[in-house]
Amino acid sequence: MSVMKYTFAAELQYKSHTDSAQLDGFDVDLTQAPPKQWLPSNVAMHKLDAFSPLPHDLVGKYDIVHLRLFVVLIKHNNPVPLLRNLIGMLKPNGYIQWDEHDHVSQKVVTADPAINPKTVQAVLDFVRPIDDMMGPRTWVSALGDIFAAQGLLRPRLYRFALPPELYRYDTDNVLSVYEEVSRKILDRRDKRDGEELRKLISVAYVDSQQGVAICHDKVVVVGQKPKEHHRGT
Ligand SMILES: C[S@@+](CC[C@H](N)C(=O)[O-])C[C@H]1O[C@@H](n2cnc3c(N)ncnc32)[C@H](O)[C@@H]1O
């Protein structure tokens, strides 16, 4: 069996406990991957632009294709070009699993009504124009139907609300992503904007320790490529 994942390499190592599978991980930026000497022998990382036409040697190669957390990379509310590449990588009868955050369900919560969430909310308000530039993200909750329209069999969308014990962990993750946004996007446009967002984030980190959280649902969508696959519209 071959399994292919776009993933953080650390998680790849954790999941590669079976020696009988070959796990190929793909990312456009391999600087994030550990040296190959530190990967299990059945795990390999490859450079791939997932949005470009699929290289011939990857067509029909994998039993399972797994993709996670591409929500911020999908443009025009349309994951179909990427999905077609993923389906192209599958053997007939192979399975696809796509894990995503549903940002549409995003909300700010507090552990106690007396806690003021205004700085965490201010961080979200600050980054909203950048988020909005990418267009709506309603495709995430429609992904099961999109799988069906692309000819995948038995598409199922599973929705998971974040358990409260993970609120803090998830919030710190989200804040660190926005810190990256402040450096990689805002600083390049106007350093003052980047600095302003980082100031808000440093207060938001403290608020998150007091019990303010940003949470959104996760969705997991699975489907099977038919023996004879006809591309959808
Ligand atoms: C939010 S991270 C998710 C990483 C990993 N899949 C996970 O779930 O932990 C998004 C990843 O997509 C990668 N990426 C960005 N553009 C890409 C592209 N065109 N093709 C493939 N990977 C890309 C980034 O380098 C980054 O590692």
In the chain, the number of structural domains is: 1
The pLDDT of residue 32? 85
CB-ligand 1 contact for 54 (6 Å cutoff)? no
Q: Would 91 be classed as within a structural domain?
A: yes
The pLDDT of residue 13? 52
What secondary structure does DSSP assign to the chain, as a single string?
Answer: -EEEE---HHHHHHH---TTSEEEEEES-GGGSPPGGGS-TTEEEEE--TTSPPPGGGTT-EEEEEEE--GGG--TT--HHHHHHHHHHEEEEEEEEEEEEEEEEEEEEESSTTS--HHHHHHHHHHHHHHHHT---TTTTTHHHHHHHTT-EEEEEEEEPPPGGGHHHHHHHHHHHHHHHIIIIIHHH-HHHHHHHHHHHHHHHHHHHHTEEEEEEEEEEEEE--SS-----
CB-ligand 1 contact for 100 (6 Å cutoff)? no
CB-ligand 1 contact for 134 (6 Å cutoff)? no
pTM higher than 0.85, yes or no?
yes
The pLDDT of residue 19? 72
Q: Would 145 be classed as within a structural domain?
A: yes
The pLDDT of residue 173? 94
Q: How far is the CA of 116 from the centre of ligand 1 (A)?
A: 34
The pLDDT of residue 6? 42
Q: Would 71 be classed as within a structural domain?
A: yes
- Residue of 5, 7, 27 with the most ligand 1 atoms within 8 Å of its CB, for mutation: 27
Q: Would 79 be classed as within a structural domain?
A: yes
Q: How far is the CA of 146 from the centre of ligand 1 (A)?
A: 21
CB-ligand 1 contact for 161 (6 Å cutoff)? no
Task: Indicate which atom in ligand 1 lies nearest the CA of residue 52.
Answer: 19
CB-ligand 1 contact for 69 (6 Å cutoff)? yes
Q: Would 22 be classed as within a structural domain?
A: no
CB-ligand 1 contact for 6 (6 Å cutoff)? yes
| CATH number of the domain to which 112 belongs | 3.40.50
Q: How far is the CA of 11 from the centre of ligand 1 (A)?
A: 14
Q: How far is the CA of 112 from the centre of ligand 1 (A)?
A: 35
State pLDDT tens for residues 80-126: 999 999 999 999 999 999 999 999 999 999 999 999 999 999 999 99
Q: Would 209 be classed as within a structural domain?
A: yes
Q: Would 134 be classed as within a structural domain?
A: yes
Q: Would 69 be classed as within a structural domain?
A: yes
Q: How far is the CA of 51 from the centre of ligand 1 (A)?
A: 11
Ranges of the chain whose pLDDT falls below 50: 1-10
Domain span at 183? 49-224
